[in-house]
């Protein structure tokens, strides 16, 4: 039940982030008041305009550059989050064995399961909450950038590639790319093989695609660039096996060994 509530909370949080719960219709300017607008949204809006001026009023290129710069800024947090995900992935087989050993639903058995889990975490030096803190720190930054894109009036009237930045992509190619890259990024970061995580794996790309079809293409561009950055970052930090279950890894190793033996016999 707790996991289902957690999943529901994540969906609600995503909806809040995507739709924006405050002042999305109000343009951001140097005269905007309040901590959120003055110290987070406006500085990012200013940076977008600054780089656009450098690139001869190319706001699309500016959004790409600022997105990459932001991702580089929070890279240490993302590395910590990714490594934490990899550490949790490595102990999934042992966690599954413990769940099977303490499969009874009575309170005493579940307490024993939690104690064994905590003991294993301590022995392996794994903190199951370590991946949450970087997310909590980076979310305000990414949400502020989202607001900066949506509320910077100067972006209006500018085109990039085949689409207008202040209108939805007319051929829906960018939303599709946003959905695909979201799926790949989620798949690479997924460490728990359970039905609820799989639901999230498929639902989030669908939601991102649908929202990107109706939101200005500037925001979809931001999602695509951010996702591609995350995919490349995750691959180089964790290697090609990230996102695979223990069974998939074992199958891959067995296949490689078989191929090696076959090659040896041919020689």
> 25 lies in a domain?
yes
Cα atoms in the 13 Å half-sphere on the side-chain side of 104: 6
> 197 lies in a domain?
yes
> 260 lies in a domain?
no
Is there a single domain that holds both residue 223 and residue 194? yes
Domain count, the chain: 2
- Calculate mean pLDDT across residues 59-74: 90
> 255 lies in a domain?
no
For 41, which DSSP code? I
Is there a single domain that holds both residue 133 and residue 96? no
> 266 lies in a domain?
no
Inform me whether the pLDDT recorded for 91 exceeds 70: yes
For 173-209, the pLDDT digits (tens) are: 999 999 999 888 878 766 555 555 667 777 888 888 9
> 219 lies in a domain?
yes
110 is in which domain, residue-wise? Answer: 92-125
For 153, which DSSP code? G
pLDDT at position 5 is 40
pLDDT at position 47 is 92
For 22-32, the pLDDT digits (tens) are: 566 788 888 88
Is there a single domain that holds both residue 150 and residue 192? yes
> 213 lies in a domain?
yes
| pLDDT confidence bin for 51, thresholds 50/70/90 | very high
- Whole-number Cα distances in Å, 129 to 49, 84, 111, 134, 136: 37, 9, 19, 10, 11
What DSSP assignment string belongs to 153-192? GGGTT-EETTEETTS--TT-HHHHHHHHHHHHHHHHH---
For 78-88, the pLDDT digits (tens) are: 777 777 777 77
Is there a single domain that holds both residue 97 and residue 203? no
Inform me whether the pLDDT recorded for 52 exceeds 90: yes
Is there a single domain that holds both residue 71 and residue 188? yes
Rounded to a whole number of angstroms, the CA Rg of the chain reads 22
The residue among 104, 125, 146 that closes a domain is 125
For 152, which DSSP code? -
pLDDT at position 245 is 45
Handedness of CA 10, 16, 19, 24 (dihedral sign): negative
Window from 68-72, 133-137, 218-222, 231-235 with minimum mean pLDDT = 133-137
264: phi then psi, degrees, rounded to nearest 5: -65, -40
> 97 lies in a domain?
yes
């Amino acid at each position: 039940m707790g996991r289902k509530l957690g999943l529901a909370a994540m969906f609600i949080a995503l909806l809040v982030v995507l739709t924006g719960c405050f002042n999305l219709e109000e343009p951001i300017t140097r005269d905007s008041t309040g901590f959120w607008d003055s110290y987070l949204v406006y500085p990012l809006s200013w940076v977008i305009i600054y780089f656009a001026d450098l690139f001869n009023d190319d706001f699309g290129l500016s959004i790409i550059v600022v997105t990459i710069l932001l991702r580089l800024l929070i890279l240490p947090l993302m590395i910590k989050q990714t490594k934490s995900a990899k550490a949790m992935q490595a102990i999934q087989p042992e966690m599954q064995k413990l769940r099977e050993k303490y499969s009874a639903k009575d309170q005493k058995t579940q307490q024993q399961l939690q104690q064994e889990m905590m003991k294993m975490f301590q022995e392996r030096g794994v903190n199951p909450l370590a991946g949450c803190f970087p997310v909590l720190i980076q979310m305000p930054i990414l949400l502020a950038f989202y607001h900066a894109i949506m509320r910077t009036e100067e972006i209006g009237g500018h085109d990039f590639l085949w689409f207008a930045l202040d209108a939805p992509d007319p051929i829906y190619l960018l939303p599709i790319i946003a959905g695909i890259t979201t799926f790949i990024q989620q798949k690479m970061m997924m460490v728990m093989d359970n039905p609820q995580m799989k639901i999230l794996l498929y639902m989030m790309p669908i939601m991102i695609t649908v929202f990107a079809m109706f939101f200005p293409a500037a925001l979809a561009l931001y999602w695509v660039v951010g996702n591609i950055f995350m995919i490349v970052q995750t691959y180089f930090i964790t290697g090609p096996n990230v996102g695979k279950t223990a069974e998939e890894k074992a199958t891959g190793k067995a296949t490689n060994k078989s191929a090696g033996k076959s090659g040896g016999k041919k020689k």
